[in-house]
Structure 1
Amino acid sequence: MKNSLFALPLALAAIAVAAAPAAAQGRNCAPRDAVVKRLAEKFGESRQSIGMGQQGMVMETFASADTGSWTITVTTPNGMTCLVASGQSYEVLAEALPNTDTDA
């Protein structure tokens, strides 16, 4: 059940990791401490999930229970954090795996 809480963020991890090199070239990156502080102060977001990606990259989802805003970040091994996606209406889900039994 706990694993299902990370289903959406981890599903997006592949997208996030693939997009990280492109995002790093833009102005959407900064040292991790600065990004985390800004997400907390400006949007009231705190870390909700974390996952490891390719090449030592770390994907994190930040969200606010009060406003529903969310942000997905990818942090490179050198400590630079890039914003990959953001939006509204964040919800924590605990869905069961679908039945994959084909003997029905």
Structure 2
Amino acid sequence: MIRQLTAVGAVLGACVMSTPAIAANCADRETVVARLASHYDEQPTAGGLQSTDDEPALVEVWSSRETGTFTVMMTRPDGMTCIVATGTDWHQAAPDAPILGSAS
């Protein structure tokens, strides 16, 4: 019971703390792009436009073959860019890659 309460408390704490962290991950596009290139050796990998009721946004994935890092970011029309997700061990999927194995 104590473990479950501790786990629930940790999850709730993470949710409460995530809002300021998300707000801190936004800057003008030039700053974000320069930092991704200089600190992580990341380059544009994929992207597309997202349409919402409020305004469209450019969603991009930047990644590095050298470091294995990746960043998912969203840029608004006013140039404000926010980091949505980051990670490691990026791998590029081959287009139309065959599925190995046998049908079950």
* Residue 95 of structure 1, CA deviation: 4.6
TM-score, normalising length: structure 1: 0.66
Quote the offset at 1:96 in angstroms. 2.9
Unmatched 5+ stretches in structure 1: 1-21, 99-104
Q: When the two structures are aligned, how many residues end up with a matched partner?
A: 77
1:94 Cα offset (Å): 2.1
Q: Is 2:44 the counterpart of 1:47? A: yes
After superposition, the C-alpha distances for 1:38-84 in whole angstroms (9 at most, x for unaligned) are 00111111111111001320001011110110000000111000000
1:26 to 23, 37, 41: 23
Aligned residue in 1 for 2:34: 37
The amino acid across from 1:41 in the alignment is S
Normalising by structure 2, report the TM-score: 0.66
- Structure ranking higher on relative contact order (CA contacts 8 Å, 6+ apart): 1
Alignment partner, residue 60 of structure 1: 60
Aligned to 1:71: 71
Identity %: 36
Q: Which residue of 2 aligns with 1:87?
A: 87
**C-alpha RMSD over aligned residues:** 2.3
Q: Quick one: distance in 2 between partners of 1:67 and 1:38? A: 14
Q: Distance between the aligned counterparts of 1:47 and 1:88, measured in 2? A: 16
Distance 1:97 1:42, change over 3 A: closer
Letter of the 1:42 counterpart = H
Structure number with bigger Rg: 2
